[in-house]
């Protein structure tokens, strides 16, 4: 059985709620980055989640605890990402915090899984977008809360297949 850690930072509770849903769907555990240990980053599948604040900044807890990710050895490890954002109010930096986490994970040798289509979103730019795909699951509780459960279900099935868990 694979060990799965969902490590998140959450200010308003939206990212935490998504992390709990994702952990349940994947059969893993969710932990706030403030409480995360080196062992959480050593799971078979590591899922990182953040909201985006300001003009593309990752959530405050992640910003304060980024050294935990930077200290992790993710060489050959499967890492998936999800991000919360507001594509209407901050359409030029939608889920960009997730892009910053992806870059840090890749620097540590991670193999990213779970890229998500950008089709159907109304944002204008994102540091989390590469071509026509996001580096992970993009969620928008402000404008598309009704799509969250379906997106999480489809994405976690995709991640399971890609990560072999």
CATH number at residue 98: 3.40.50.360
Under the banding of pLDDT at 50, 70 and 90, the label for residue 55 is confident
Mean pLDDT of 127-147: 95
Report residue 147 as tokens.
């799509």
Mean pLDDT of 102-122: 95
pLDDT of res. 120 = 93
3 state SS of 45: strand
pLDDT of res. 54 = 80
pLDDT of res. 49 = 97
Under the banding of pLDDT at 50, 70 and 90, the label for residue 101 is very high
pLDDT of res. 161 = 94
Q: How many domains is the chain partitioned into structurally?
A: 1
Q: Of all helices (H) and strands (E), which one includes residue 70?
A: helix 60-71
pLDDT of res. 39 = 93
Q: From the CA atom positions of the chain, what is the Rg in Å?
A: 14
Structural domain containing residue 88 = 4-163
Please choose, from the candidates 140, 77, 127, 75, the residue with its C-alpha nearest in 3D space to the C-alpha of residue 101. Answer: 127
pLDDT tens, residue by residue, 67-98? 999 999 999 899 999 999 999 888 888 999 99
Mean pLDDT, all residues of the chain = 94
- Model's pTM, two decimal places? 0.94
Q: Burial, 106: exposed, middle or buried (Cβ in 10 Å; 0-12, 13-18, 19+)?
A: middle
């Amino acid at each position: 059985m694979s060990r799965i850690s969902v490590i998140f930072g959450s200010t308003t509770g939206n990212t935490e709620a998504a992390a709990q849903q994702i952990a349940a769907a994947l059969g893993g555990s969710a932990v706030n980055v403030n409480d995360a240990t080196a062992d959480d980053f050593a799971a078979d599948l590591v899922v990182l989640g953040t909201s985006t604040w300001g003009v593309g900044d990752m959530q405050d807890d992640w910003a304060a605890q980024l050294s935990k990710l930077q200290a992790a050895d993710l060489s050959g490890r499967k890492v998936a990402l999800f991000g919360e954002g507001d594509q209407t109010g901050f359409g030029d930096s939608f889920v960009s915090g997730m892009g910053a986490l992806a870059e840090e994970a890749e620097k540590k040798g991670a193999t990213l899984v779970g890229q998500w289509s950008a089709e159907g979103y109304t944002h204008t730019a994102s540091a989390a977008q590469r071509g026509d795909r996001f580096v992970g699951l993009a969620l928008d509780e402000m404008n598309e809360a009704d799509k969250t459960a379906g997106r999480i279900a489809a994405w976690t099935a995709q991640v399971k297949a890609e990560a072999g868990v």
